[in-house]
Amino acid sequence: MSTTRVNYEESLEEVEHALSKALGPAYTVTAISPSTLRVKRNNVITATVRLSWSDEGTTFRVRGGGLIVSRVIDSFTVTPKVRHALERSFVSAA
C-alpha cells in the first residue's frame, strides 16, 4: 500500500475528477463508496484509492486490486502510476 497526504481537505469528487484527468482515457475512475475510488485500466489492472479526512488534511491510500496474484502485479504497475498522479495533482498544488 502507498500513502500520500495533503494538508488540506479534498472531496471525493475532486479527487475522482483530478485522477481521471491525470491518468487519461485509458483508465476509468469510479466512486464505489463515500471514501473509496476504483481505478481500472481493464478487468485485471485495477487499484483502490481510500480517502480519509482529519484535522491535518486528506490522506490517500492506494493499493492494487483484485485477487492476491493480480494485487501483487498491480502494486508494481498501476499503484505507482495512481500515486504519482495524486502527487502531481495535489501535493504539488499544496
Write out pLDDT tens, residues 48-70: 999 999 999 999 999 988 777 77
pTM listed for this prediction: 0.85
Helix (H, G, I), strand (E, B) or coil at 34: coil
In terms of pLDDT, which residue wins out, 39 or 90? 39
- Name residue 88's amino acid: R
CATH code: domain 2-91 is 3.30.310.80
Mean confidence (pLDDT) of the chain: 88
Q: In this structure, are residues 48 and 62 in contact, taking their beta carbons and an 8 Å threshold? A: yes
Query: For the chain, which residues make up each domain, given as ranges?
Result: 2-91
The confidence band for 92, taking pLDDT boundaries of 50, 70 and 90, is low
Closest listed residue to residue 51, CA positions, set 63, 43, 42, 40: 63
CB neighbours of 69 closer than 8 A, spacing ≥ 6? none
**Res. 4: pLDDT tops 90:** no
**Beta-bridge partners for 4:** 60
